[in-house]
Amino acid sequence: MRDPTSQPFSEKSLGSLLIVDRPDTELTIDLGAQIATNATTGLVANELIDAGASLTSKIRVQGVVWPSVPYFFQNPFAHNISDMLVRVDFDFHIETPWYCSDADGTISVYLFLFLDGERHLQGAVDGTWFSYNGGGPFCTGHITAGLNAAMPNVVSQVGPILQQALSKAAGVPFSNLHYLPGTGVSTPGVFIQNASDDVALGLNLA
């Protein structure tokens, strides 16, 4: 709902309800709309074809707390416990020879967004992860090797996409950043959105 006066940014929890005061000067970036474009989807589909797989879902973009990232225990102090990362993930299918079961899984790319020393927005690929079911009894090694080999190319493709997604905030100093479920809509009203498919970034001017 709209407050007649612009309030400073604040967050507070009331049970399962999170209340966020968002200043009128907030810059909002709908990361889902910026990342999960038709062009990106086509790029992902082509990369999977090259790896012997096919895309079986849309691209999902969501916020996750650092301890929930699957490689957290490899280096728990890489981020603060309260930090959030952005997970970009999608599902894939791999057909195998007749003597193995087909494989279905998910590839996730984790992005870390932050304000640098000059309070400018920066973002980078933090890590990748994949998991799948199937491929037995003889093909799991081949599948894993193929996915591992494809990951560096996936990371190299994500960098330019991320920079384009954040371009409207380039060079602007901000006091803080925060995540908003869904599109980050600021129009007064009630909106039901899927935070597993989309997340927005809120930025307040310094």
pLDDT tens-digit readout, 121-167 = 999 999 999 999 999 999 999 999 999 988 888 888 888 999 999 99
- Cross-strand partners of 179: 201
pLDDT reading at 60 higher than 90: yes
Taking the C-alpha atoms of residue 23 and residue 9, their distance in angstroms, rounded to an integer, is: 6
Whether this model's pTM surpasses 0.85: yes
pLDDT tens-digit readout, 159-178 = 899 999 999 999 999 999 99
Mean pLDDT along residues 68-88: 97
Give the Cβ contact number of residue 158 at 10 Å: 21
H or E segment to which residue 38 belongs = helix 38-50
Which position has the higher pLDDT, 70 or 17?
70
Which two tokens mark 50? 């090259």
pLDDT at 97: 95
Residue 156 one-letter amino acid: S
pLDDT at 24: 87
pLDDT at 179: 95
Burial tier of 187 (Cβ tally within 10 Å: 0-12, 13-18, 19+): exposed
